[in-house]
């Protein structure tokens, strides 16, 4: 989960926001903007080496979801 938190934190304009967000909390409800979510998606695409599918983009709602995508990208 540390890698996922680091990736999310790097995408935030105010990284300290993540200190108040649990792994399962909804990022948008916690105050993460759409622009920050786009940066997160682009970072994930870079890390995975492929574009995210529509379902994956829609599922980017929590740190736990990011961790799942990072784990799914490990071969």
> Minimal CA–CA distance to 28: which of 69, 70, 60?
60
Q: What is the model's pLDDT at position 1?
A: 81
What burial letters (b/e) apply to 42-64, b meaning 16+ CB within 10 Å?
Answer: eebeeeeeeebeeebeeebbbbe
Q: Kindly report, residue by residue over 24-72, the tens digit of the pLDDT.
A: 999 999 999 999 999 999 999 999 999 999 999 999 999 999 999 998 6
| CA 7 to chain centroid | 6
Question: What was the pLDDT predicted at 73?
Answer: 58
CA distances, 22 to each of 46, 49, 52, 54 (Å)? 24, 27, 24, 24
The pLDDT value recorded for residue 75 is: 42
pLDDT digits (tens, 9 = 90+) for 1-25: 889 999 999 999 999 999 999 999 9
How far out from the chain centre does Cα 48 lie?
Answer: 13
């Amino acid at each position: 989960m540390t890698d996922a938190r680091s990736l999310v934190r790097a995408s935030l304009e105010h990284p300290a926001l993540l200190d108040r967000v649990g792994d399962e909390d909804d990022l948008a409800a916690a105050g993460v903007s759409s622009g920050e979510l786009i940066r997160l998606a682009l970072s994930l695409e870079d890390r995975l080496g492929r574009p995210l599918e529509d379902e994956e983009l829609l599922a980017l709602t929590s740190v736990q979801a990011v961790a799942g995508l990072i784990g799914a990208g490990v071969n």
